[in-house]
């Protein structure tokens, strides 16, 4: 009979020591990532940890010996998708094990953190469940699972997981990338009433300045030209300054800008309450800080913002955006919106429409409110009907899509710097990233991945731009 355990000891065998235990045959892992950019980063670091244990990442689930679902718990449907996928994987596991092949199933991320014991109860095929703070212990968990112990490791780790993860630039066979994520902060203390993050990711924790500078330098030495700083509430990052004082995200950006070879900086996701003067100054002073800011507001109604516990008003948000645009006129805004929050009236929704019309977004993410168990919002009265939420979301998305299209069209004829990231579908075509985070297709036969070239935008597509090289 298998035994379920709740945690692994922090003193368990470190990842680096697991290399010698890798099997002679190359094991393969397929990682399915749900949700936010933080999960994309976490999936990459889990792949690093597993590489040190002898696993090679594959894009073909059928050839994998381990399938790992890195999950999101923000919306109800995301969790439902995970359980649906686990049902299909259960059948795949039966087939593979009947052939005598190793096939293991792991669940990571926020659903794992919130529902760890429930996952192993509902899905007998799952071997390992690890939370966002314990995925560095995946090799140890898999070792235990092979001995017949189903592992649930969702405690908040005592040790710093980043100190136990291998250096991604020293992993043999790892593909060179020119853009990279760098987690600077995790968790959130804001407790918005709709959000489960404080319960699945924990309290706000900032990584140290020295640790971040070291990792950033390693990334740049490995060929990275652009770094995106990540955090559940990234602009809440704080660290100890050399003089003993406290540094904020703006100070960190100035420090990172001094790294030779680093060409571009971005950060996400921000909270309006943590956009301080120093961070706004960084947008003014640092040309390498790209003119694109994801600044969620969620609603344009003060009454709904209060119910959401956002602790700012619509006018505060508008004034903040105006301050940022004053110092960086070319900045483009992205945002998040929730429609149909409990108690939202037609007038509340109209306030949101008015705010969107006033601000003008280059891109935005919008969703119907989905109650998450354990959050205060789920217990609020006056829930909005699905039909009304659907109607409001359609209207909002129509407006946001028009703004996105209008912004893209405004770039036609403009010349901009383009960081070349990967080959395109056509011979000689390379796909690059604009300063405003759009994909740009360009014929650049004389250039190579990692170059920053000047292009003139000639046309737009549904989800990308097209450009031509500007000869110097």
Assign residue 356 a region: left if phi > 0, alpha if psi is -120 to 50, beta otherwise? alpha
Q: What is the pLDDT of residue 329?
A: 97
Q: What is the pLDDT of residue 76?
A: 64
- Residue 72 known to bind ligand: yes
- Residue 294 known to bind ligand: no
Residues 393-425 pLDDT 10s? 999 999 999 999 999 999 999 999 999 999 988
Delineate the domains of the chain, giving CATH numbers in brackets: 4-159 (3.40.50.12160), 415-469 (2.40.50.140)
Q: What is the pLDDT of residue 201?
A: 81
- Residue 110 known to bind ligand: yes
pLDDT means over runs of 10, the chain (472 residues): 34 35 67 84 87 89 94 74 90 92 92 86 92 85 90 72 62 71 92 90 90 94 95 94 91 98 96 97 98 98 98 98 98 98 98 98 95 90 96 98 97 97 89 96 90 97 93 77
- Residue 36 known to bind ligand: yes
**What's the predicted TM-score (pTM) here?**
0.80
Question: Measured between alpha carbons, how far is 209 from 254 in angstroms, rounded to an integer?
Answer: 12
Residues 110-149 pLDDT 10s? 888 888 888 988 998 999 999 887 888 888 999 999 988 8
């Amino acid at each position: 009979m298998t035994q379920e355990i709740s945690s692994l000891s922090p003193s368990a065998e470190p990842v680096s020591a697991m290399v010698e235990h890798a099997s002679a045959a190359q094991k393969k892992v397929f990682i399915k990532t749900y949700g936010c950019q933080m999960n994309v980063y976490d999936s990459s670091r889990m792949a690093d940890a597993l590489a040190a244990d002898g696993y090679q990442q594959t894009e073909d689930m059928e050839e994998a010996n381990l399938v790992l679902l890195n999950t999101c718990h923000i919306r109800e449907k995301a969790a439902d998708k995970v359980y649906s996928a686990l049902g299909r994987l259960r059948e795949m596991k039966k087939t593979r094990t009947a052939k005598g092949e190793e096939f293991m199933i792991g669940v990571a991320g926020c659903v794992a953190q919130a529902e760890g014991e429930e996952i192993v109860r509902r899905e007998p095929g799952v071997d390992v469940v690890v939370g966002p703070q314990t995925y560095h212990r995946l090799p140890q968990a898999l070792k235990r699972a092979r001995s017949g112990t189903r592992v649930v490791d969702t405690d908040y780790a005592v040790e710093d997981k980043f100190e136990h993860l291998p250096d991604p630039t020293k992993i043999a066979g790892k593909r060179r990338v020119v853009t990279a994520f760098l987690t600077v902060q995790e968790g959130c203390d804001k407790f918005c009433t709709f959000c489960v993050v404080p319960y699945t990711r924990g309290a706000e924790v900032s990584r140290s300045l020295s640790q971040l500078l070291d990792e950033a330098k390693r990334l740049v030495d490995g060929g990275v030209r652009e770094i995106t700083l990540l955090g559940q509430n990234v602009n809440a990052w704080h660290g100890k300054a050399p003089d003993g004082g406290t540094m904020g995200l703006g100070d960190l950006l100035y420090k990172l800008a001094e790294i030779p070879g680093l060409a571009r900086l971005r950060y996400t996701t921000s909270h309006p309450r943590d956009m301080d003067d120093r961070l706004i100054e960084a947008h003014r002073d640092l040309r390498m800080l790209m003119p694109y800011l994801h600044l969620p507001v969620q609603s344009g109604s003060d009454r709904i913002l209060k119910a959401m516990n956002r602790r700012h008003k619509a006018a505060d948000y508008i004034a903040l955006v105006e301050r940022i645009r004053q110092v960086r006129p070319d900045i483009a805004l992205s945002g998040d919106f929730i429609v149909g929050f409990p108690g939202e009236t037609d007038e509340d929704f109209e306030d949101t429409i008015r705010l969107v019309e006033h601000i003008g977004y280059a891109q935005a993410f919008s969703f119907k409110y989905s109650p998450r168990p354990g959050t205060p919002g789920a217990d609020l009265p006056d829930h909005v009907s699905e039909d009304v939420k659907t109607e409001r979301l359609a209207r909002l998305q129509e407006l946001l899509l028009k703004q996105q299209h209008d912004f893209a069209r405004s770039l036609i004829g403009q010349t901009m710097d383009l960081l070349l990231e990967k080959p395109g579908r056509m011979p000689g075509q390379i796909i690059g990233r604009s300063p405003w985070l759009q994909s740009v297709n360009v014929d650049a036969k004389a250039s190579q991945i990692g170059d920053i070239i000047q292009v003139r935008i000639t046309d737009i597509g549904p989800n990308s731009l097209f450009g031509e090289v500007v000869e110097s």
